[in-house]
Amino acid sequence: ILFQIFDAFESRLRDSNSKVKQVALETMHKMIPLLKENLSPVINMLIPAMVDNNLNSKNPGIYAAATNVIQALCQHLDSYLLLQPFCTKARFLNGKAKQDMTEKLA
C-alpha cells in the first residue's frame, strides 16, 4: 500500500502547477519525521521527484520547500539510504541543484 500512496504522491511532486508542487513538498517535509525509515522502500522514487526541477526552481517557495525536504531526509533517515540516490542526482543535475546535492553528500 505504501507504493500505491507514494506513486500517487510522486505525481504531485512533479505537478506543473507550482502551488500544487509547493504544497506537496511542504507535506513531504512534514511526513518525513513521522515515517522515517519506513520510507526506505520508496526513497529511490521519491528523491528524483523531490529534487528534479524543484532544486533549480526560480520560485523561492518551491526551492525553499525542496531544500527543507532534503534537510529533513538527512536528519531523519540513515545516510546509507540516501547515498546512492544523492550521488546519482549530484552526478546528473546542473546549476544550483548540483551544488546543493554535492554539499549534502559532503
pLDDT at 1: 80
Average pLDDT over residues 18-23: 97
Residue 23 burial by Cβ neighbours in a 10 Å radius (0-12, 13-18, 19+):
middle
Task: Record the pTM.
Answer: 0.92
Q: Is the pLDDT assigned to residue 76 strictly greater than 90?
A: yes
Question: What pLDDT sits at residue 85?
Answer: 94
51 contacts 70 by C-beta, under 8 angstroms: yes
The residue type at 94 = N
> Region 24-53: what's the mean pLDDT?
94
The predicted model gives 90-97 an average pLDDT of 92
The DSSP-derived string for 25-38 is HHHHHHHHHHHGGG
Residue 59: pLDDT above 90? yes
Backbone torsion region of residue 105, taken as left when φ is above 0, otherwise alpha when ψ lies between -120 and 50, otherwise beta: alpha
Task: Find the mean pLDDT for residues 77-104.
Answer: 93
